[in-house]
Amino acid sequence: MWYDFQYKGGEYRVEDVSVKKIVEAVGTPCYIYSNSALEGDFDVFREAFSEISPLICFSVKANSNLAVLRTYANLGIGFDVVSGGELLRVLRAGGDPGKIVFSGVGKTEDEIKAAIEAGILFFNVESIEELQVINDVAKELGKKARIALRVNPDIDPKTHPYISTGLKKSKFGIEISKALDVYKEASRMEGIEVVGIDAHIGSQIFQLDPFVESLRKLIELGDALKNEGITIQYIDIGGGLGISYKEGEMPPHPKEYADVIKREINSTPYKLVLEPGRVLVGNAGILVTKVLYVKDGASTKFVVVDAAMNDLIRPAFYDSYHEVITVHESLGDEETVDIVGPVCESGDFFAKDRGLPKVKRGDLLAILSAGAYGFVMSSNYNTRPRVPEVMVRGEEFFIVREREAYEDLFRGEVIPDFMK
């Protein structure tokens, strides 16, 4: 919750721990998560849907740190995974395999096998070919795989094109007009048990209509299936609810989202499945970085920090906005600066033309709302070790992922003999 990240006594704190104290222990850059915020934001979401108790499957791609996943596992929720690696993480974190849904356009046979063996709830199947492969793998294992078809409802979620996934031209899902035939085929397959319908239309969505429109199409399809003698139990509407990255930005409150969804699903026999990612973790984490240099360009003042696009790629990739604040509360005059990282790309920035209190070499900055699609999208570009992740709980903090060492970065690389 917002109150888990605040200035107290002139210093920015996560819960009851000063960011400065964490930095003294782990250095910069570092990600810091608030356990209380994770739980609080989840409570708000769960509470919004409480009357219909849906299956909430946290979308692991948003933040897959084991301690984050364990937080959710302890709350008894499910998980949406998109790879064998994510599946393994959830199991390692103590997640209930019976509450896992497996999405993604390119599942390999090994991943399918591992998921069937783990006993996941269902696969969200994205093509006929995939359906056939799942059928084959299940038969080989002497099991039945539960599936939902991910349909493409052709809906514009009115968000960034890179994170719109339910449009006709998108690579995701099966065209909704063809779904009925695919379901019929699926219901005849020996290794397949049809249990649901799924769609995910995009991410960071601020309008409720696209969700409603998509859900209506799924319910309509469910009813059409019933007429064909195919009964489904689950309707999975994916994730996508937006969060506020900027002061004044007003995404729908989870309660408003829940209200419009409940209105549609209430009178149906289907159990709702949700795959929220960002809305659960986005505002529960920050990235802390140190000012390396302040320099005057020809027309721009640059604040060069020690974090870079490889640590948080969202601004470079989507031109996303993240608030940047000073860790030491500063009430002085603001100046307009670009906040940039050390990576050799012009796209390596966190903020452009941004008002920031005057800072100097050594000052700490916090990049806010970095809990979702932050560390998980980080890379070793420019041979930069990936940064540590820290979890705060009350007055304590825990390193939940160590900083990588240079040796970690060379691991597995070999100079062939002929070069010696």
Which range of residues in 58-66, 68-76, 131-139, 245-253 is near ligand LLP by CB under 6 A? 58-66
* Nearest to ligand LLP of 206, 302 (CB atom): 206
Structure tokens belonging to residue 189? 């397959």
* Nearest to ligand LLP of 29, 191 (CB atom): 29
Q: Residue 265, Cβ neighbours under 10 Å: how many? A: 20
Distance of alpha carbon 90 from alpha carbon 93, whole angstroms: 5
Q: Pick the catalytic residue: 250, 344, 415, 419?
A: 344
Residue 385 in contact with residue 403, Cβ under 8 Å?
yes
Asked if 57 is an active-site residue, the reply is no
Query: How many residues are recorded in the chain?
Result: 420
CB of 351 to ligand LLP, least distance (A): 16
Per-residue DSSP letters for 84-150? HHHHHHHHHTT--GGGEEE--S---HHHHHHHHHHT-SEEEE--HHHHHHHHHHHHHTT--EEEEEE
CB of 11 to ligand LLP, least distance (A): 29
3-state secondary structure of 161: helix
Restricting to residues 313-372, name those near ligand LLP by CB under 6 A: 314, 318, 372
Residues in the interface with ligand LLP (CB under 6 A) total 22
* Nearest to ligand LLP of 101, 182 (CB atom): 101
Distance of alpha carbon 66 from alpha carbon 397, whole angstroms: 15
Residue 368 in contact with residue 324, Cβ under 8 Å?
yes
The yes or no reply on residue 54 touching ligand LLP (CB under 6 A) is no
- Determine which residue in the list 103, 164, 326, 369 makes contact with ligand LLP, applying CB under 6 A: 103
Distance of alpha carbon 350 from alpha carbon 131, whole angstroms: 42
- Determine which residue in the list 373, 375, 389, 391 makes contact with ligand LLP, applying CB under 6 A: 373
* Nearest to ligand LLP of 80, 111 (CB atom): 80
Q: Residue 156, Cβ neighbours under 10 Å: how many? A: 15
Restricting to residues 69-98, name those near ligand LLP by CB under 6 A: 80
The yes or no reply on residue 29 touching ligand LLP (CB under 6 A) is no
Element holding 314 (H helix, E strand)? helix 314-318
Restricting to residues 272-291, name those near ligand LLP by CB under 6 A: 275-279
CB of 19 to ligand LLP, least distance (A): 23
CB of 163 to ligand LLP, least distance (A): 5
- Determine which residue in the list 18, 28, 36, 59 makes contact with ligand LLP, applying CB under 6 A: 59
**Buried b vs exposed e over 162-187: b needs ≥16 C-beta within 10 Å?**
ebbbbbeeeebbbebeebbebbeebe
The yes or no reply on residue 107 touching ligand LLP (CB under 6 A) is no
* Nearest to ligand LLP of 29, 240 (CB atom): 240
Which range of residues in 13-21, 56-64, 255-263, 386-394 is near ligand LLP by CB under 6 A? 56-64
CB of 366 to ligand LLP, least distance (A): 18
Restricting to residues 207-266, name those near ligand LLP by CB under 6 A: 238-241
Per-residue DSSP letters for 227-244? HTT----EEE----B---
Please classify residue 249 by burial: count the beta carbons closer than 10 Å to its beta carbon, then call 0-12 exposed, 13-18 middle and 19+ buried.
exposed
CB of 205 to ligand LLP, least distance (A): 7
* Nearest to ligand LLP of 238, 341 (CB atom): 238
Which range of residues in 84-92, 207-215, 269-277, 400-408 is near ligand LLP by CB under 6 A? 269-277
Distance of alpha carbon 114 from alpha carbon 99, whole angstroms: 15
Q: Give the amino acid at 272.
A: L
CB of 8 to ligand LLP, least distance (A): 30
Helix and strand numbers (H, E) in the chain are: 12, 21
- Determine which residue in the list 14, 17, 30, 62 makes contact with ligand LLP, applying CB under 6 A: 62
161 preceded by cis ω (within 30°)? no
CA dihedral 66, 314, 249, 388 (to 10 degrees): 40
Q: In 3D, which of 78, 122, 125, 84 has the Cα closest to residue 104?
A: 125
Which residues of this chain interact with ligand LLP, rule CB under 6 A? 59, 61-62, 80, 103, 163, 200, 203-204, 238-241, 275-279, 314, 318, 372-373
Task: Give the residue numbers marked as catalytic.
Answer: 344
